[in-house]
């Protein structure tokens, strides 16, 4: 009877050990799944942040290239406007020169006309 009790006790202990071992394995499996799920969730966020950073870097480079092109084009426009202003000044100078010549020619024409009329009057007298 004592040996039977001992065997029953040992059997129950083995059952408990097996149950405890089964629960330990289940707990380890659940903890592993939880850890993997958390890491996957974090990795998704990190991957998204990395992709956003790459996009931003690309956009910054594109913006820098476009800004350089715009600065170059603006410099060309400024040069063209300065050249246009210079041409306008030169046209103004030519216009002033032409007026001056025209005024001189009128003065000369008036003087010649005056001399010619003076000669006509002295010849007719």
Over residues 40-67, the pLDDT tens digits come to: 888 888 889 999 999 999 999 999 999 9
Distance between CA atoms of 16 and 9, rounded to whole angstroms? 10
**How many DSSP H helices and E strands does the chain contain?**
1, 0
The pLDDT mean for the chain works out to 90
| Total residue count of the chain as it appears in this document | 125
Structure tokens at 54: 């790459």
Give the distance from CA 72 to its chain's centroid. 15
What is the tens place of the pLDDT at every residue in 3-45?
A: 888 888 899 999 999 999 999 999 999 999 999 988 888 888 8
Q: What is the pLDDT of residue 117?
A: 84
- Over the Cα atoms of the chain, what is R_g? 53
pLDDT digits (tens, 9 = 90+) for 71-100: 999 999 999 999 999 988 888 787 888 889
Instruction: Tell whether pTM > 0.75.
Output: no
What tokens does 26 get? 């289940």
For the cut 80, the answer to whether the pLDDT of residue 121 exceeds it is no
Q: What SS3 class is residue 117?
A: helix
Would you state the pLDDT for residue 106?
Answer: 93
């Amino acid at each position: 009877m004592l040996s039977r009790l001992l065997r029953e006790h040992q059997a129950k202990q083995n059952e408990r050990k097996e149950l405890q071992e089964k629960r330990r394995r289940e707990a380890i499996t659940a903890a592993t799944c939880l850890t993997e799920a958390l890491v996957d969730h974090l990795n998704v966020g990190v991957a998204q942040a990395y992709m956003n950073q790459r996009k931003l870097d690309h956009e910054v480079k594109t913006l820098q290239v476009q800004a350089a092109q715009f600065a170059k084009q603006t410099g060309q426009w400024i040069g063209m406007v300065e050249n246009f202003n210079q041409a306008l000044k030169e046209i103004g100078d030519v216009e002033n020169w032409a007026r001056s010549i025209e005024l001189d020619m009128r003065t000369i024409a008036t003087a010649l006309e005056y001399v010619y009329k003076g000669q006509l009057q002295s010849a007719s007298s």
